[in-house]
Amino acid sequence: MSSTLFTVQKIEKYTVVEFKTPSLMNPSELEQIATDLYRLVAEADRRYILLDFEKVKYLSSQAIGIVLTLHKKLSQLKKTSFVLCGVGPSLMQLLKITRLDRVLKIKDSQKEGVKVEPNV
């Protein structure tokens, strides 16, 4: 699965979703991203998801909602892991304001992210 907005690859146990656009603000693009990401969990049964935001500079509340929904879907399953990486200063500030930095696992790089042990 690949789109113009992100790529999906397998690194170790993780399905790595790398966003290729600096802006996750467009509602129709985000709707497509949401559908594709939810499908990874629901249909492809991917339980270890790493979202790489390295190229992302701008993010809408809708995009945050997608991240939270994905987190919730995974947390309802056994043996899952959901990690964010490449989170820039502005995105990190947003995560701290919303206190999501306490809920989500955030690592600096994909290399560190794929080492996170799953929840049991």
pLDDT 10s digits, 22-66: 999 999 999 999 999 999 999 999 999 999 999 999 999 999 999
Distance of CA 113 to the CA centre of its chain: 11
Give the containing element (helix H, strand E) for 90: helix 89-97
Per CATH, the homologous superfamily of domain 6-113 is STAS domain (3.30.750.24)
Q: What is the Cα–Cα distance from 52 to 86, expressed in whole angstroms?
A: 5
Could you count the other beta carbons within 10 Å of the beta carbon of residue 98? Answer: 13
> What ranges do the domains of the chain cover?
6-113
pLDDT-based confidence at 119, cuts 50/70/90? confident
Which stretches of the chain are assigned E, i.e. beta strand? 6-11, 14-19, 23-24, 48-52, 58-59, 81-85, 105-107
pTM over 0.85: yes
